[in-house]
Amino acid sequence: MATYRYTSKRGEVEIHYEERGSGFPILLIAPGGMRSAIPYWDNAPWNPLEHLSSSYRVIAMDQRNAGESTAAVGASDGWHVYTEDQLRLMDHLGAPRFHVTGMCIGGSYCMGLVGRAPERIASAVLFQPVGLQGNRKLFLDMFDDWAKDLRASHSEATESDWAAFRQSMYGGDGFLFNVDEAFVSSCQTPLLVLMGSDAYHPEETSRRIAELAPNVAFIERWKEGDDRISARRAVDEFLAAHS
Count of domains for the chain: 1
193 phi, psi to nearest 5 deg: -115, 125
pLDDT given for residue 181 in this prediction: 98
| Position 9 pLDDT exceeds 90 | no
Question: Residue 138's domain spans which residues?
Answer: 2-241
- Give 10's pLDDT tier (boundaries 50, 70, 90): confident
Domain of 219, CATH number, reads 3.40.50.1820
Alpha-carbon distances, residue 201 vs 36, 76, 122, 177, 229 (angstroms): 15, 26, 24, 12, 22
Half-sphere exposure of 73 (CA within 13 A, CB side): 24
- Give 208's pLDDT tier (boundaries 50, 70, 90): very high
User: What is the average pLDDT across 163-185?
Assistant: 98
Give first-to-last CA distance, the chain, whole Å: 26
Is 4:92 a contact under the CB 8 Å cutoff? yes
Alpha-carbon distances, residue 149 vs 39, 58, 71, 170 (angstroms): 18, 30, 14, 19
How many CB atoms lie under 10 A from the CB of residue 227? Answer: 14
pLDDT given for residue 168 in this prediction: 98
Nearest alpha-carbon partner for 89 in 41, 162, 145, 26: 26
